[in-house]
Amino acid sequence: MIRFEALALVIAKMNGGFDEPDSRAFKLRNPGLLKTYRPEKKTDSEHYRVFTSFMGGFKALTADLQIKCSGKNHRLSPDNTLRDMLVLFGLGNEQVIRKIVLFLRRALLDESVGAATKLGWFQETEEIKEAEVNG
């Protein structure tokens, strides 16, 4: 599994983006609860983005994660930790972080993933992708 996709899936899961019709993430089709202050983007009253489809919201979340993990975000660098990023997503509660880590370990078949994992680790190289596909 692609590391960014696994991250996006677990963030969507924690936000109720898949299976909680009453959640903000589900209603806005915004599984990452991404915010924007750009006037050309459709938002709700609290600046959460509104997407026309779940897939659009999921793609935006995946792109946002790639930016954050690569250091192209003003708040994070590849040396920041998974915990640091989850705090920015409003998922900084220790129990939530633990659930996320356990999900990532299972999804990525890698017991080394932890709250202190550096964001740079989530940036896959072609060699890593090929090794994972070829087992």
> Residue 130's pLDDT is what?
55
pLDDT for 39-72, tens place per residue? 899 999 999 999 999 999 999 999 999 999 998 9
pLDDT for 26-41, tens place per residue? 999 999 999 998 889 9
Residue 96, classed as helix, strand or coil, is helix
Q: Residue 23 — φ and ψ, nearest 5°?
A: -75, 155
The two structure tokens encoding residue 15: 């936000």
> Residue 124's pLDDT is what?
77
Record the pTM.
0.89
Q: Where are the domains of the chain?
A: 3-134
The two structure tokens encoding residue 103: 């999900």
pLDDT band at 135 (very low <50, low <70, confident <90, very high): low
Please give the share of the chain, as a percent, with pLDDT higher than 70: 91
C-beta separation of 107 from 6 below 8 A:
yes
pLDDT band at 115 (very low <50, low <70, confident <90, very high): very high
Find, among 17, 3, 2, the residue nearest to 89 by Cα.
17
Spatial distance between the Cα atoms of 130 and 52, rounded to a whole number of angstroms: 34
